[in-house]
Structure 1
């Protein structure tokens, strides 16, 4: 029998084991992350599943079914530093509860094979979000990924080697896709839309495209006391002007733009800034809108740098196009929500999710959102009402059952994917 309260209890225990007063600390490949995987695998040991790790480091729990066609349920245990208690791990432990129900109801052999996946490093410890799922989708560039570093200077290659993963072989994880026919994922919304609509759950239309770059502006260091304001080549001035312009052109085109990380050199009170390095993250559901945001950024960077007597260089960190989800599964998700609550919303996702990479690989995909209090995420204040968490687990379970029916209908008609659930 499905027991959503068991999911909530497991999530609270996970936070007790892997968090502190500042929030969740399950950064990929660190000790708390290993502890989280150990907590999960201990509970998986109680089910008739096989557990294995693919060449990219993703963890898979497989419940064999009467058909070898696979329904995937996905999430991620890793968190940002000082993260929230629900981001990513709700997906995994809700999926675990669905596995329990399916195993019990069908005597350990559901109509189709069901696989729960814990994606590795969804959060992007090294600036590359969706690492594990991009390896499975085939969109990972191992050569570029190997050069990426985290905030302490640890390379992605070395961190993965520490868990027995050779980054150069990560794309071999793509063999996991061979029998996958559908992917579903539950996630907290991480925004305020559902709360503003006073709705607990929503079906997700797709994920916004992302352009993420690191920008380095170079000026000239000079004494802060003796250099007149009109004689300075101040790299920070470029960022100051850009940070205001960002809001203007994002308001004009829609989407969101964020300058999220800034470092300067020499970084002392008595010197004009010589170099200013910052990240720019831009997101939009429409490809043309995303392109317009990045065009504005490049034009303004060139203008503001020239005005300040500086130069600039741009290096890409991450890019993904807008990814729409499967229309039939969006409908199934909406119906699953209506199975457990009177109203359902449809909304896009601004944050990235592994579901986007799965969908890019051609696997029919949908996401289910549950309301986030205050729209907050990626901090210790992240929260969702227990009553809404309960509903979300029930809706995910109904979505899984509806998707299984959808897959079986395809098999009966000799097709891989039917037109409607």
Structure 2
């Protein structure tokens, strides 16, 4: 087969142009959060790029934007994609790179007149970053959205999803019609920046994801007794913060005894109340984020963390309670897709690194319904969700060419 390559200059132009939509001049961050005016402008820009390439486009009821190259058969199709919405003060590549690379692959196939048996469809999913609590676009495609969710989903400021959709002239209930028949999809492939330091430190141009981590998050409360910092002896205190300190020191032991080398646990947010310098803390509220690629290990870690918190609460004379805020099951990437990626990386002389994904992506949602595969490209310094997020153009080209040739293999 003739070796085709992506047009890197076209990828550069698309990335830098889309990055200007929603960028703030004060902190140089991109603010293209889901269903904001900037996000909808980004969707229109993407549809214009489809039109310029001579490709038709569609929007489903969840405002997922898509285009496709038609195959010569009615075999189940290949989906490729990611998202263009961002977190606040974002960089230019998270999600966006996968959509732009997918578009470039379709343009290359069309321009070169490459015939494929399976239709290849590019999808830019809505709200992967979870402004409204989940991955709305891919969840809609997988039939995980229902009328109750549509009526109750809100963002951190209390804005209702259904109100934001109506503001843009969209019917919230139409999201229910975005669900796809799993039998119509052969598999889903996504390219993404790693958002971590591994590939950058190993000097590897691409990563091939074998597993996508599962996770659970808790909101934890340790309740003691607020009291005077000067008059309450140390051995007579019910100090809620000391309970948190004890638990934080227990995390490495619990991971070592109950986890794996792919386990992670993070206390990312904590509030100490009443919050006065001269008052013994009577209440501590904190978050716990736990991740692993094994559902069994996640359950074992959950049990171990509960036992540790209960023991600390008894020892410190505290009350302990927690609420499960979210749970995502781990996903195994398709062996067929992993093998195809390995074959094409060898053919392209790319030194690929097999690795897990420690972050959730649309592929994690899609993986509950259809076979999935993921390509990672390095993140400079491991930075992401910040204006400092970047990937070398040479690595972007490597990942894009790997995507292009893997799509050809999978589609034929």
Q: TM-score, normalised by structure 1?
A: 0.86
- CA RMSD in angstroms, aligned pairs only: 2.7
What is the DSSP-based 3-state SS (H/G/I as helix, E as strand, rest coil) of the residue aligned with 1:382? coil
Q: Deviations over 1:367-418 (max 9, x none)?
A: 111122222222222221111111111111111111111xxxxxxxxxxxxx
2:38 equivalent to 1:27: no
Looking at structure 1, the residues matched to 287 and 407 of structure 2 have their Cα atoms a distance apart, in angstroms, of: 38
What is the DSSP-based 3-state SS (H/G/I as helix, E as strand, rest coil) of the residue aligned with 1:351? coil
Q: Deviations over 1:256-313 (max 9, x none)?
A: 1112223344445454444433221111112222112211221122222333433333
Looking at structure 1, the residues matched to 20 and 166 of structure 2 have their Cα atoms a distance apart, in angstroms, of: 28
2:377 equivalent to 1:373: no
Matched with 1:8 is 12
Looking at structure 1, the residues matched to 399 and 42 of structure 2 have their Cα atoms a distance apart, in angstroms, of: 22
> Residue 43 of structure 1: CA displacement?
0.8
Matched with 1:170 is 175
Moved more, 395-404 or 241-250: 241-250
Matched with 1:189 is 194
Moved more, 54-63 or 142-151: 142-151
Matched with 1:124 is 130
Does structure 2 conserve the Cα–Cα contact (< 8 Å) formed by 1:75 and 1:117? Answer: yes
1:4-403 matched pairs, under 5 angstroms: 4-20=8-24, 21-68=27-74, 69-106=76-113, 110-128=116-134, 130-140=135-145, 143=148, 147=152, 149-164=154-169, 170-175=175-180, 177=182, 179-224=184-229, 227-252=232-257, 253-254=259-260, 255-269=263-277, 271-361=279-369, 363-403=370-410
Change (3 A) 1:400 1:234: same
Looking at structure 2, the residues matched to 380 and 121 of structure 1 have their Cα atoms a distance apart, in angstroms, of: 19
What is the DSSP-based 3-state SS (H/G/I as helix, E as strand, rest coil) of the residue aligned with 2:179? helix
Moved more, 252-261 or 147-156: 147-156
Change (3 A) 1:157 1:335: same
What is the DSSP-based 3-state SS (H/G/I as helix, E as strand, rest coil) of the residue aligned with 2:241? helix
Moved more, 79-88 or 169-178: 169-178
Does structure 2 conserve the Cα–Cα contact (< 8 Å) formed by 1:8 and 1:389? Answer: no
Moved more, 200-209 or 27-36: 27-36
Q: TM-score, normalised by structure 2?
A: 0.88
What is the DSSP-based 3-state SS (H/G/I as helix, E as strand, rest coil) of the residue aligned with 1:23? coil
Looking at structure 1, the residues matched to 158 and 235 of structure 2 have their Cα atoms a distance apart, in angstroms, of: 37
Q: Deviations over 1:343-387 (max 9, x none)?
A: 2221111111111211210x2211111122222222222221111
Matched with 1:416 is none
Does structure 1 conserve the Cα–Cα contact (< 8 Å) formed by 2:206 and 2:350? Answer: no
Change (3 A) 1:340 1:142: farther
Structure 1, gaps ≥5 residues long: 406-421
> Residue 89 of structure 1: CA displacement?
0.5
> Residue 77 of structure 1: CA displacement?
0.8
What is the DSSP-based 3-state SS (H/G/I as helix, E as strand, rest coil) of the residue aligned with 2:336? helix
> Residue 221 of structure 1: CA displacement?
4.1
Looking at structure 2, the residues matched to 141 and 215 of structure 1 have their Cα atoms a distance apart, in angstroms, of: 29
